[in-house]
Structure 1
Amino acid sequence: MAAAPFDSVLQESGASQESAFVRLWLGFATARVAIGLSVLLLLIGSRLLGPQTVSGWLIGLCGTYLAAALAVRLFVRPPDPGAPFDPQWVSSIGVDLLVFSCLQFLQAGGIYYAPLFAVPVLMASVLGSSLLALGTAAAVALLLLAEAWVLALQSPVDLAPRFLQAGLSGIGFFALAFLAHQLALRLAREEAAAAQGRRAALMQIRVNQLVIETLADGVLVVDLSGQVQAANPAARELLGAGARQRRPLLAQPAWAPLASMAQRTFDTGEPQVSDVAIPHDDAVRRMVVRTRLAAAGDQPGDSLCVVFLQDLREMEARLRTEKLAAMGRMSTAVAHEIRNPLAAISQANDLLEEELQDPGQRQLSALVRQNAQRLSRIVEEILDVARVQHQSAAPGQVRPEFDPAVRACCQDWTDQNHSGGQLQLVLEAPGQVIAFEPDHLRRLLVNLLDNALRYASSASDAIQVETTVDGAAPVLTVWSDGAALEPAVERHLFEPFFSSESRSSGLGLYICRELCERHGASIGYRRGPSPRGDGRAGNAFFVAFRTTSPMAATAAFAKMTA
């Protein structure tokens, strides 16, 4: 019986306040109190009624033992099981050996006390190491042999039977120590395995909870009575604040379809799938609902129904995003293939136009040139999307001064589009420096101005560009007096290849959004008054730039969209 394996197993078992070894220690401590009380009462009874005289100091010894055993039971904490030696063993096993030896040697009251040695032997074997168990059994055997030797000195009669009895009793205590220690080893291994299983189960529960909490789909766990046992954040978002634990599904009439599907799952044991419309915040939310039965035991009432909720809007949005991504990849490949033939067409048309003299033919050549230029712009915009998606904001980039950069970009744009009469500048952010590459700022502003020109009127101030400082973030606003956007158009403004007119590629605003995301800026749209404050309503695209703190742009964007 080696001590090391027992010690390692006991360390694995945990030995907490719920450990079986703690309960065994408490049992032994209680047994010591009962033994002390029983022996004290027997000696007192023998002194008062028995024919033999019992010494008063033996009664005092038993009283002291009872007090010590009671103090250990009430005030001493359980020792670590498997320890080869602990000071507590002196107050328990050591005291037992001393007191029981005195009683056995003196044969107080004519009682045979040798069986009481089983208590310290068992206590050392179950709660101590193998060394302590064998040492305690050896000490008991030596005490019994010493007693036999003392009795032999006093009376040489029956010498052999006395030593034989002492030897057999010693062997019995060794066997008891060995068997008890083996049982303790097995108990320790089983307790360690149970503790490891509990830890693994707890870890699995935590992992499952983490996965469920982070799922984009809603998850409800419902019992047979319709009570919601668990709901993840996505489910609470889809169903509202009422979807909380220990709340019946029938508590709200809007959840009746969910309760009906859960009940069918319990009745049939088969999964259910259905499209459900549930009112939520003055609107109807459509979702795909799937149910699965989780059998937790043999009894029907032990099963749980897991309800999965999937928002159809998010499904459609993901599908649309995947389609757009695939379309973008295909468009980029097509643009590369079109670019070279388109350049050849443009060059050939330019050479042909030099030889043409007939006005009708020159008009047709101009029409070819205009459409070739339009196709070239579309190709460049498609390729710009690919370039923006593969670019990253370089560290140490040039930080342009806000107002001068906006003024220069607007001047170049008006010169190119001959639209100076329609554009008005309101620059009110002097000295501001933004974290945005100058070339990207130019592309951003040109795309916003092109979009504004497409829908603006011909008035002298139909397009207005304003720079302001909101808190710590510079804000650029491009306003035009165009008609209000339809809600369906507004929802998809910054998606690629989306446009309300056939002659646009639908990539301008998408490129603006990509550029802003690259530089930590935020772009948005709102319907609002003109920056000049003349009372006209129009369409305003605003960009909150980052200076040094990313939170500044975020706070400004939130304020603009409020």
Structure 2
Amino acid sequence: MQLNIGKVTAPPAPDSLLKVYGYYRVILSSALLTMYLTGVATRILGAEMPQLFLGTVSIYTVLCLLSLISLKIYRATPGIQMLFFMLLTDMVAITLMMHASGGLESGLGFLMLATVAAGSILVAGQLALLLAATASICVMLETLSTGMILGQSKESIFPAGILGILLFATALLFQVLTQRIRLAQTIAAEKAIESEQLQQLNESIVKRMRTGIVVVDRQDNITLINSAAIQLLGGQQPGKPLGAGQPLSLIMPLYQQLDRWKTYRWLRTPTFKTPSSSIEIQANFTSLHQGEDKQTLIFLEDTRSLSQHAQQLKLASLGRLTGSIAHEIRNPLGAISHASQLLAEQATDSSQSKLLDIVQRHCLRVNQIVENVLQLSRQKIPAFQKIWLRQWLKKFRNDYMDTQKTPCIIEIETINKDIQIFFDPGHLSQILTNLVDNGLRFSEQATGERWVRLVVCRDTASELPFLDVFDRGPGVPFEDQNSIFEPFFTTSHEGSGLGLYLAKELCGVNYASLNYFGEEPENRHFRIGFSHPDRVLPRPQS
């Protein structure tokens, strides 16, 4: 991805360098004034014209102080005209003080080198050479005037020429160095902008990734966590906010996984669930060595996507198996069923009728098992649709009750306003039919009344919709709760043991989950946890 980086130009006078030069001017002028007033260098400073030297250095000191104060008060960078005026003031002041002190012999002319060097840094291009030329002219004019007024020898013209050459050489040298420094600053500024944009891009990618990302430091404190990780871990909980600076021990299952990984890094970490979420999570860990601060990067994956791939492989194998044996099972099964029906027409003994009835019921049971297995192996890609759940449940209730021979009660409760889900309507009807059949049957056995309640709600932490199915039955025994979704597990003599297994598989195909909550005797129910309708990408049609 190519980043758009705007053109970066270095300012004509960097504030830091300009302030340094401003302090230099104040220190220089103050030092010259102090040395003159204290008589430290009376033979050099103002030796020829004391009044001119005192007036010049006094005015120069005041101007330097005023310019430094203006730089402090007005933080904006002064323009080229202001900079050129300051440098020209320095040249004129140095020239007058040099003239008042006896010319080049005083040594004050070499202060021009600092002024020209500063000018080459603060202004660019031909202006730097103009400053050098101006300084050279000032030196030559002072030398000529000193020779004419004071009657000095013309031999001082040669040192003035040498100083002029040094001034030009200084201007050229510092101009080249300044150009390189400005080029380096420009490149550094571009790299800084590019780095900032890349950092913003990385943060945006991490924030929008479907994979959960958590980074913890050496003390197992969270330094980074994205929204996908917060959602997978159950969302923000009251009193336990998930964010940078929080200890990972707030999420005890993940903290235990990290501690296990630190000890046994070669072992694959098992999946886990958090108390506030029903999603099975696979965590992967990797070390990030950044100097002394060793951080750990944690990837959190929703195992439902992995389960989809495994299920496709399983269904393909199951389809090949069932396709080859269904014919072999149904033929003898049909013959047994037909023979038992013929015997039932001729039987007169009640004991024979009872035995034949057993044969018929088990034939139907085996046939139902074959039908369920075939149905499972022939599952097609879900026809996803956005469904308003409450409206759809009302239609499902009407259709379901029309097929029942005995009266039943199906209550629908919506805690929030109507909720939209992303699901295959045919699969949802098949799943609910199985759950409602079981609920009505167990309610009737316990209370004599066929009753279920469907509750539609949305999780406040993860904002994911779910549907709870309640009944008045005794509930699933605790020892059987981990086995009810296994194939061919049943507690009924008439069931095939594939109903709940098939329902859970259909939920998985639709990026949903099916779980049983049986911890509280008065609140036992099945829950279908739906995915977010706007965050699921349906499989491509093949």
Question: TM-score interval w.r.t. the shorter chain?
Answer: 0.5 to 0.7
Q: What are the Cα deviations for residues 486-523 of structure 1, in whole angstroms up to 9, with x where unaligned?
A: 45755686x685855583224343266459868xxx97
Partner residue in 1 for 2:217: 221
Q: What are the Cα deviations for residues 91-120 of structure 1, in whole angstroms up to 9, with x where unaligned?
A: 521211222233344546984531121222
**Aligned partners of 2:261 and 2:487: how far apart in 1?**
40
Q: TM-score, normalised by structure 1?
A: 0.61
Correspondence for 1:172 among 166, 171, 177: 166
2:409 match: secondary structure: strand
Partner residue in 1 for 2:385: 393
Q: What are the Cα deviations for residues 511-549 of structure 1, in whole angstroms up to 9, with x where unaligned?
A: 66459868xxx97655599xxxxxx95843467999xx9
2:474 match: secondary structure: coil
1:465 paired with 2:452, answer yes
**Aligned partners of 1:378 and 1:256: how far apart in 2?**
39
**Aligned partners of 2:183 and 2:57: how far apart in 1?**
38
Counterparts of 1:78-477 in structure 2, within 5 Å, are 86-107=80-101, 111-151=106-146, 158-159=153-154, 161-189=155-183, 220-222=216-218, 294=289, 296=291, 303-306=292-295, 318=303, 322=306, 325-335=309-319, 338-339=322-323, 342=326, 359=343, 371-384=366-379, 386-387=380-381, 390-393=382-385, 400=391, 402-403=393-394, 405-412=396-403, 414-415=404-405, 420=406, 423-426=408-411, 439=426, 442-452=429-439, 455=442, 458=445, 461-466=448-453
Does the 8 Å contact 1:134/1:174 carry over to 2?
Answer: yes
Amino acid at match of 1:87: Q
Correspondence for 1:71 among 39, 46, 66: 66
**Aligned partners of 1:347 and 1:257: how far apart in 2?**
52
1:76 match: secondary structure: helix
Residue 134 of structure 1 and its aligned partner are, at CA, apart by 1.3
Does the 8 Å contact 1:118/1:173 carry over to 2?
Answer: yes
**Aligned partners of 1:261 and 1:476: how far apart in 2?**
36
Residue 359 of structure 1 and its aligned partner are, at CA, apart by 1.5
**Aligned partners of 1:220 and 1:450: how far apart in 2?**
48
**Aligned partners of 2:21 and 2:141: how far apart in 1?**
27
**Aligned partners of 2:156 and 2:65: how far apart in 1?**
35
Amino acid at match of 1:166: A
Distance 1:347 1:53, change over 3 A: same
Does the 8 Å contact 1:382/1:507 carry over to 2?
Answer: no
Partner residue in 2 for 1:559: none
Does the 8 Å contact 1:476/1:544 carry over to 2?
Answer: yes
Amino acid at match of 2:116: V
Does the 8 Å contact 2:287/2:296 carry over to 1?
Answer: yes
Correspondence for 2:525 among 535, 540, 548: 540
2:322 match: secondary structure: helix
Correspondence for 2:473 among 465, 482, 503: 482
Partner residue in 1 for 2:252: none
Q: TM-score, normalised by structure 2?
A: 0.63
Partner residue in 1 for 2:349: none
Amino acid at match of 2:178: A
Distance 1:480 1:23, change over 3 A: closer
**Aligned partners of 1:394 and 1:152: how far apart in 2?**
100
Distance 1:106 1:145, change over 3 A: same
Residue 259 of structure 1 and its aligned partner are, at CA, apart by 10
**Aligned partners of 1:470 and 1:256: how far apart in 2?**
31
Amino acid at match of 1:221: D
2:217 match: secondary structure: strand
Distance 1:245 1:357, change over 3 A: closer
**Aligned partners of 2:371 and 2:258: how far apart in 1?**
54
**Structure 1 residues without counterparts, runs of 5 or longer:** 1-7, 250-254, 265-270, 282-286, 297-302, 530-535, 552-562
Q: Which moved more, 1:196-205 or 1:87-96?
A: 196-205
**Aligned partners of 1:338 and 1:242: how far apart in 2?**
48
Q: What are the Cα deviations for residues 407-459 of structure 1, in whole angstroms up to 9, with x where unaligned?
A: 331231x24xxxx26x3344678xx9875787556434312123335655546
Amino acid at match of 1:406: R
Partner residue in 2 for 1:509: 503
**Structure 2 residues without counterparts, runs of 5 or longer:** 1-6, 235-239, 250-254, 276-281, 347-355, 459-463, 535-542
1:59 paired with 2:59, answer no
Amino acid at match of 2:26: V
1:485 match: secondary structure: coil
**Aligned partners of 2:511 and 2:110: how far apart in 1?**
85
Does the 8 Å contact 2:116/2:128 carry over to 1?
Answer: yes
Residue 406 of structure 1 and its aligned partner are, at CA, apart by 0.9
**Aligned partners of 1:408 and 1:545: how far apart in 2?**
23
Distance 1:163 1:308, change over 3 A: closer
- Percent identity, aligned pairs only, is 15
Does the 8 Å contact 1:289/1:307 carry over to 2?
Answer: no
Aligned length: 473
Residue 184 of structure 1 and its aligned partner are, at CA, apart by 3.1
Does the 8 Å contact 1:465/1:476 carry over to 2?
Answer: no
Does the 8 Å contact 2:56/2:97 carry over to 1?
Answer: no
Does the 8 Å contact 1:349/1:369 carry over to 2?
Answer: no
Q: What are the Cα deviations for residues 11-34 of structure 1, in whole angstroms up to 9, with x where unaligned?
A: 3xx999xxxx65543332222112
Amino acid at match of 1:180: F
Does the 8 Å contact 1:148/1:163 carry over to 2?
Answer: yes
Amino acid at match of 2:385: A
**Aligned partners of 2:101 and 2:56: how far apart in 1?**
14
